[in-house]
Amino acid sequence: MNKKDIRINGERIYLVPLTVEYASEKYCSWLNDPVVNKYLDTKNATIENLQKYIKSKYEDPNCLFFGIFDKKTNKHIGNVKLEPIDFNLKTAVLGTLIGEKNYWGMGIAPEVYKYLLKYAFDELKLETITAGMYKGIVGALKAVKKVGFKIHKEFDDAYKVLLKKEDFIF
C-alpha cells in the first residue's frame, strides 16, 4: 500500500495521509487546548513532537493516519486513524480528533467514518473495526452508531464499540 497515493473523498471533507509538513502551530494548538485534549493522552505538543509522531505513523505499515480537510477551504480540521491494523485478523482500531471546535456538532465525524470505513472494508479487506470512547464526549456514540457500530462493552466512564463489515451502514 502506497500511502502517498491515498485520497478519500467525502461530500464535505477529504482525507489524506498526514506527513510531517502538516505539523503546524494550528495542529499544536488543538493538542494544547484543554477543551480539545480533555480525553486525549497528549496534553502538551510542540511542532517537533508532532513531526516525530506523524513520521512514525506514516512509516508504520499497520497504521493509516489521515488528516481531515474541509473540501471548500482545504483547512485541516482534524485527524482520524486506523491503528493498529492487523491484516491477518482483518481488524483495526479507530481513533478520531476533530481539533477545530467550530466544526463540532456539524456531523463531520459520521461523514469521516462513512468514507474511511468504506475504504477499510473495500480496499484493505478488513472485517472488524473497534473504537473506544469516553461517555463525556458529546455525540461520539451517536456518531459511530450512524455507520453501524454497536456497543460491545460498557464501562463506568466509557464504551467500547464494534463494527462488523456486514453491519456497516454507508
**Is residue 92's pLDDT more than 90?**
yes
pLDDT, tens digit (0-9, with 9 covering 90-100), for 116-154: 999 999 999 999 999 999 998 878 999 999 999 999 999
Cis peptide before 34 (omega within 30 of 0): no
154 beta partners: 159
Adjacency order of strands within the sheet including 13-17: 8-9, 13-17, 64-70, 76-86, 91-98, 128-134, 158-164, 150-154
Q: What is the mean pLDDT of the chain?
A: 95
Under CATH, which number does the domain 3-167 receive? 3.40.630.30
Q: Which residues contact 60 (CB under 8 A, 6 or more apart)?
A: 83
The pTM score is 0.95
**Is residue 40's pLDDT more than 90?**
no
**Are the C-beta atoms of 82 and 92 separated by less than 8 Å?**
yes
**Is residue 37's pLDDT more than 80?**
yes
**In angstroms, rounded to a whole number, what is the distance separating the alpha carbons of residues 11 and 126?**
23
